[in-house]
Structure 1
Amino acid sequence: MRVAMTLMWALLCWVVPGTVGAELVLPVKSQIRAVYGDAAVTRVTRWERLVTLSSDLSVSEKLERVNDFFNTLAFKDDIVVWGEDDYWATPVEFLGRGAGDCEDFAMAKYLTLIELGVSDALMRLHYVKYIPYDQFHMVLTYQPSSSAMPLVLDNIDKAIKPASARRDLLPVYSFNANNMWLSKLDRDGKAMGSSSRLSQWQEWRTRMLNKQMRRP
C-alpha cells in the first residue's frame, strides 16, 4: 500500500530541487515485515489510515490527531534503539522500531502534516534546550500567521500549547525544508540561510528518497 503521493513528491522536490511529479513510494509491507516484524507493519498501516481519515479535517484537528498518534510511541534514546548517540530515523524506521527520541517524534509529525496539506512555510522543527533536564531537545511548531503565537507539538508535554506557555524550552535554532533561523519560539528569528547546511537533515531526506530502512 502507498502513502498518498503528495508527500512523496514533496520529499523528492526537497532532495532534487526543481523536480516535480516524480514518484516515490514507501517500502512495501513485506520489506518492512522482513526488517522490523509484524508489529511494525501494523503501526505503518495505522499511520496510513491516520492520513486517509484526517485529510478533510481542520488544521487544528490535524495537529491534534498527528500529535496524539505519534505520542503513543515509546521514547528511547538513540543509543538504545540504534546503538549510536545521534541518529535521525525516518518515519518508517521510527514506526518500525516503535520507539525513538525527540527528533524522530518531531520529524514524523512534521512529515505527516505536510502530507495532510499543512504548509511547510507554517512549520518549523525547533532545536531547543529542555530546561528541567538541562538537555537538548526537538519540538515541532506551527504558526498560521506572522502575528499568531506558534503552537508547540512535543513528546514530553504531550498537550499542544502556545509557545508562550512553554517557558521550559530555551530555543537554539529552527529549520524547515529550505531554511534555518536562530530563533525564539514565539517570534521570527535571524535567518541563517539554507537548511541544506544540516548534514543530518540532508542524510535523512536521502534515506527517505531511497526507501532505506536501517536494521536494528
Structure 2
Amino acid sequence: MTTRDQRHGWRKVLFENGLSLAFALLFLGALAGQALAGHARFNRELLDDGFAPVSLGGYVTSSAFGVDVLENWQSEFLQFLVFIVATVWLVQRGSPESKPLDRAGRESDAQQRVGRFAGPAAPRAARGHGLRRTLYSHSLALVMGAVFVTSWLGQSLAGAVVYSDEQVRGGHDPVSWAQYLRLPDFWDRTLQNWQSEFLAVLAMVILSVYLRERGSPESKPVGAPHDATGVAG
C-alpha cells in the first residue's frame, strides 16, 4: 500500500468515526480540566484546614476525585437507561425522539428483523433463537444498566470515604458505607444530578417537536410538520 493510499485510508477512518472520536476527545479534555481544577480546589481546602497539599497524581487516584467523576457518570447512564427503556412503550406526538405512535411496545419479529426475518447482514445473534437472541435484544439496556449500577456503587463507596475524611478533619467520627447511604449528603449529591438529567431529556423531547437543527438526525427536517412523529433529518 502506498503512502497516498494510507493517507486516504486514515482520512476514511477519521470521517467514518468522526462523531465518536470528537466526543472522546471532548471527554478526555473535560476530564483533564476537571482534574486540574479539582486538584487546585482540593489543595486549597486542605491548606485552609491546616493539612499538607497532595500531588496531582495523589488527587486523581483519591476518593475525592473519584466521587466527583462517578456521580456524573452514574446520572448520565441512568438518563440513557431510562430513556432507552421508556421509549419502548411511551411516545410523544411530534417528537423525533419518539417512535411513531402506532409502534409503541416491543414490536413484532418482522418489524425488528429478527429470526426468520433477519437479513444476511444482520448480526448473528439476531438470526438465532432462545436466550442468545433475548440477551442481544436487550443488550443496550443491560450494558447501560450495568454501567449505571457499577458507577453508582463506586460513587457511594468513594463518597463514604470522602465524607468520613471530612468528619475526621472536623473532629467527628467517620461513618460506614451503610451509614453514608442513609445520610442527606449522599442523596443530595445523587438527586441533584438525576433531576438535571431528566430535565434535559424532557427539554429535548418537547423542544424537538417545534424547533429544528438542519442536518441533525436529532431533529426533524426543517419543513416537517410539528405533529410528524419519529421522523429523522
Question: Higher strand proportion, which one?
Answer: 1
Question: Higher helix proportion, which one?
Answer: 2
TM-score band (shorter)?
Answer: under 0.3
Q: Which has the larger radius of gyration?
A: 2
